[in-house]
Amino acid sequence: MSEATGLPARRAALAALAAVDEDDAYGNLAVPAAVEHLEDARDRAFASHLAYDTLRWQGTLDWALQHVLSRPLTDVEPALRRVLRLGALQLLRSGVPSRASVSTSVTLAREAVPARRAQGAGGFVNGVLRNLDRRRDALPWPDPDDDPVASLALTTAHPEWVVRDLLTRYDRDRTRAILEADDAPPGVTLRATGDRDALVAELLAEGLDARPGALPEAVRVPGADPRRLAAVREGRAAVQDEASMAVAHATGARPGDRVLDLCAGPGGKSAHLATLVGEDGHIDAVELHPHRARLIRETAERLGVAVTVHVGDATKPPVPPQASYERVLLDAPCTGLGTGRRRPEVRWRRQATDVADLAGLQRQLLEAAAERVAPGGTLTYSVCTWTTGETEQVARWFDAAHGSRFEAQERRQLLPDADDTDGMYVTTWRRRS
């Protein structure tokens, strides 16, 4: 640590929590931004660990804190609530000595409020965390046999509705394995835009633990910081999970194909598809939000591929009315639970009611996508989640509604435990000639 107290690292972690809480930032963007000013690599690592784990374990931390609070945690002002969560994480899960966990949290609490309230805020946090430290071995954890849902939820840091949904598809042991894998920080995966072997050799020469992934373009680089890699800055590699690469391959895109990529921002899949279809192919990418459309253009330019970007509603794609495509990809808006290894906050932002709402939108988008598929072409549907309502149920609905015109080709659920990827559902249909 750069100081005996480790305060700079904790301040950076708290800043990341505030960005996620107040600005709706993604954890995988907020944390690196908050820690990059720390000069010591150990400080950056410690701050990142504290921030990511506090985001990940928020539900369990809140449960534990509520058992030692005399008022609802929701009544505690947000700045102090974040300090309490960060302190509780250190007491319950990080192996940080109790004294350091409490004393640094008191300092952070005093800094988080106006000076006139600093003493009271510090005393409040000191009392709550000392109480938690005394009572942590007596917390009433649910019995896994009497209440398996609550037990799994608290011991794997996921909302109960997520646990219930997974239990409709998998048994208890597999559900636990999925959720525990979702809690494991992911390594960095790159997509080589050119010669993969040359990229691996370059990264090895830089002293990194680089190795080929399961897909032809994939390179696993655990422990790397992508922002510091020349290959990423110069377009020889793109940061991309293998699940996203699998989606592009599932389309069956070949050199010369015309491809329509709906809901395409921020552009990783569009750029990959452009590589697959080559100079003789064509990619039309549709994105509703202008700032995400701009990211598609920037990604394509950095990686040296051609993508035509259209800003508009994918339920009414803003492309020529009679245009049809050999490949249509719908990477639909979804609950995003499959990104939990990189964006652990997503599990606490979503509610069970979101699933039905999003499934309705997904069906609308599929209706529009189906009208753009040329005879003999393919339609690929992907969502970065595992909920039954957004995956199997949507696919079965499409089978029933369009089975006379479309034949199911492949259906796959990628999961972090078995595949070491994001939790991505992918299904492809071929339009009958």
Q: Please check whether residue 55 lies inside any domain of the structure.
A: yes
Q: Please check whether residue 26 lies inside any domain of the structure.
A: yes
Q: What is the CATH number of the domain that holds 57?
A: 1.10.940.10
Q: Is-contact 216 237, C-beta < 8 A?
A: no
When pLDDT is averaged across residues 114-138 and rounded to a whole number, the result is 97
The span from the CA of 135 to the CA of 130, in Å, is 9
> How is 58-69 classified by DSSP, letter by letter?
HHHHHHHHHTT-
pLDDT tens digits, 199-223: 999 999 999 999 999 999 999 999 8
Q: Please check whether residue 15 lies inside any domain of the structure.
A: yes
pTM attached to this predicted model = 0.94
Is the same domain home to 44 and 106?
yes
Is the same domain home to 337 and 408?
yes
Active site residues: 384
Q: Please check whether residue 207 lies inside any domain of the structure.
A: no
Is the same domain home to 164 and 268?
no
When pLDDT is averaged across residues 184-195 and rounded to a whole number, the result is 95
pLDDT tens digits, 90-123: 999 988 999 999 999 999 999 999 999 999 999 9
Is the same domain home to 110 and 153?
no
In sequence order, the 6+-apart residues with CB closer than 8 A to the CB of 319 are: 260, 284, 286, 310, 372
When pLDDT is averaged across residues 114-139 and rounded to a whole number, the result is 97
Q: Please check whether residue 203 lies inside any domain of the structure.
A: no
Boundary-marking domain end, from 75, 108, 138:
138
Boundary-marking domain end, from 138, 169, 196:
138
DSSP state letter for 143: P
Tokens, residue 24: 């709706």
Is the same domain home to 324 and 274?
yes
Task: Count the domains in the chain.
Answer: 3
Is the same domain home to 317 and 404?
yes
Reply yes or no on whether the pLDDT at 328 is more than 50: yes
pLDDT value at residue 197: 97
pLDDT tens digits, 60-78: 999 999 999 999 999 999 9
In sequence order, the 6+-apart residues with CB closer than 8 A to the CB of 89 are: 50, 53, 54, 57, 61
Is the same domain home to 422 and 305?
yes
Is the same domain home to 132 and 167?
no
CA-to-CA separations, 377 to 14, 95, 260, 366, 409, in angstroms, rounded: 50, 55, 11, 15, 12
Reply yes or no on whether the pLDDT at 322 is more than 90: no
Is the same domain home to 271 and 419?
yes
Q: Please check whether residue 303 lies inside any domain of the structure.
A: yes
CA-to-CA separations, 322 to 9, 16, 215, 317, 368, in angstroms, rounded: 57, 47, 35, 11, 13
Is the same domain home to 282 and 410?
yes
Boundary-marking domain end, from 107, 138, 169:
138
Q: What is the CATH number of the domain that holds 320?
A: 3.40.50.150
Q: Please check whether residue 104 lies inside any domain of the structure.
A: yes
Greatest Cα pair distance in the chain: 75
* Average pLDDT along the chain: 96
Is the same domain home to 333 and 371?
yes
Torsion over CA of 153, 335, 302 and 252, rounded to 10 degrees?
A: 110
In sequence order, the 6+-apart residues with CB closer than 8 A to the CB of 233 are: none
pLDDT value at residue 5: 54
Q: Please check whether residue 132 lies inside any domain of the structure.
A: yes
When pLDDT is averaged across residues 7-35 and rounded to a whole number, the result is 96
Q: Where are the alpha helices (DSSP H) in 157-228?
A: 160-167, 172-182, 196-205
pLDDT tens digits, 232-287: 999 999 999 999 999 999 999 999 999 999 999 999 999 999 999 999 999 999 99
The residue segments making up the domain with residue 32 are 7-138
Closest alpha carbon to 345 in 354, 333, 353, 336: 336
Is the same domain home to 102 and 172?
no
